[in-house]
Chains A and B, each alone.
Chain A
């Protein structure tokens, strides 16, 4: 078994906070990572898989006593609850997940983007966000006006996707 990855646990999105709180009380005291995967092309429903990676960490002698990864399947509607109260670093990580995927968290409606800028339109790591898309502030590549038909149309790539 991959010890760095830990055991996989699937949790219903509506109960993420309870499940993570229970794990934290069990001794999983460090939130190692929080990320998301978009399964749109694989037609999974709901499309997103939010992953919380926890470590049972011994702060005395710095031993890793075991890891667990908690998967929550969600759509873009706010079902997940924020875990900022359990791990303060979740604040930034949730902002990143929202920024990149548009996954919202129920108890933080006014969430800020982390990596992209305020005026950015869309969520870039979604599978339906074209990699060559240009943003309003950047402007069209060819000098076209933003409302011209050729604006924001992705050129075919080498792979033909």
Chain B
């Protein structure tokens, strides 16, 4: 007689599940509490980033990149414009490169804090979640101060960044860094040797070096297996070759190693920012308050015929974007007129700046990147974040391909889940740090 008893049963985790970071669907085949096979279904947050990018101008794609990995938007901003600049052969001034490094590293810390905090919460440690989100908030204040927004940063431009560092940035960051370090010390005491936490994460979600390479996994996930690959070291972009930092690695590739690697990377990122703030070349960026006037005051001067006088002042254009009130764009943006937006004080106060700006933002005029293809990668918080860009010489991209680092980890998820217990899904999935915005684009 045919045996009709079924030994396994299916369980759907998601698309909406409290332990899934974003909308994702895991289909598990279970035998008791053991996972026999698993499958991940993605695409619930597909927003057609790549299709939209083809209809935008080069600079207009930057706000879309914020929404890729929305926990570390600044890295996406930098990654995208780096690919465009590589194709166009634009060199960003040193001060601009330092500001980009600082922005990237702040984002990396916020990303790691979110990942660790959320995973800890799912394993029952709500205190750590609150502490880490508190630390992230200190850094979001810094990001807000720098870019004018906490998450939708839109900070880079082709050829540079939006504005210079705001006044007292170093001092503000030093305060935030000490607060973050204090939180990390607390969380370290709460988690690293905590029996309850270690029982859940130690020895679960193991991935071997061979599998990690076969699946194209990069970032903290790869480093937890003991391979010290980091795009910042392998291809030192921006000015990363000038900083002294370590690449923390694990040994076994389990969830506990990934936790330790991320904790150690936060400290390394803080070190990089401190070195960058110490090294950053001083452009003409410390204007006296008496040299800055509101744009409308300068406009009035122009109307009164004091055109000679205008050039002696810098324009304060927007109270919320503190870095923009200073006449420093020469040191944060590439000095070319065909691709880099002019400083706002020029746009508002003289006809050359106004026309330059207008031609760069006008439909079908704009920034014309020479035709060709380029691929450029930066170290995202999850791994190698690559952008492959094709231009046909028009004012917008012909094709933008984003290589999302967590897609490669998600593809390998069944490797880590099959044979494990259902309770192991939570720490393993937490350590993947799946960001649906980046995964589904």
Interface of A toward B, CB cutoff 8 Å? 2-5, 29-33, 35, 37-38, 42, 51, 53, 57, 59-64, 69, 87-89, 91-92, 100, 113-117, 124-125, 129, 131, 157-159
A30 and B216 in contact, given A4-B377, A42-B392, A62-B228 (Cβ under 8 angstroms) = yes
A59 and B377 in contact (CB under 8 A), knowing A31-B216, A64-B234, A115-B46?
A: no
Q: Are A33's CB and B386's CB within 8 A?
A: yes
Q: Is the CB of A59 within 8 A of B401?
A: no
Could you tell me how many residues of chain B have their Cβ less than 8 Å away from some Cβ of chain A? 48
- List B contacts of A159 (CB < 8 A): 55, 363-364
Tell me the chain B residues, 197-254 only, with Cβ under 8 Å from chain A: 209-210, 213-216, 222-223, 227-230, 233-235, 247
Bound state CA distance, A53 and B401, in angstroms?
A: 12
Q: How far apart are A161's CB and chain B's nearest CB, in angstroms?
A: 8
Q: A35-B401, A59-B227, A114-B43 are in contact. Are A92 and B213 (CB under 8 A)?
A: no
Taken residue by residue from 424 to 441, chain B's Cβ proximity to chain A (1 for < 8 Å, 0 otherwise) reads as: 000000000000000011
Q: Which residues of A contact B228 (CB under 8 A)?
A: 61-62
Chain A residue numbers with a CB within 8 Å of B411 are 88-89, 91-92
Q: Are A32 and B51 in contact (CB under 8 A)?
A: no
**Residues in A whose Cβ lies below 8 Å from that of B373:** 5
Docked pose: A117 CA to B51 CA in angstroms? 17
Contact A89 B441 (CB under 8 A): no
B375 in contact with A5 (CB, 8 Å):
yes
B407 within 8 A of A: yes
User: Does the CB pair B235–A32 fall under 8 Å?
Assistant: no
Complex contact A88–B375 (CB within 8 A):
no
Interface residue B52 (Cβ < 8 Å from any Cβ of A): yes
- In Å, the complex CA distance between A89 and B212 comes to 10
B407 touches A4 (CB 8 A): no
Cα–Cα, bound, A62→B216 (Å): 13
List 6 tightest A-B contacts by C-beta distance, closest first.
A62-B229, A115-B43, A62-B228, A64-B234, A92-B411, A5-B375
Q: Are A87 and B216 in contact (CB under 8 A)?
A: yes
B388 and A35 contacting across the interface, CB-CB below 8 Å: yes
CB distance from A108 to the nearest CB of B (A): 15
* A57→B440 contact, CB < 8 A: no
Do A33 and B51 have beta carbons less than 8 Å apart? no
Among candidates A38, A62, A125, residue contacting B234 with C-beta atoms closer than 8 Å: A62
The interface residues of chain A lying within 8 Å CB-to-CB of B234 are: 62-64
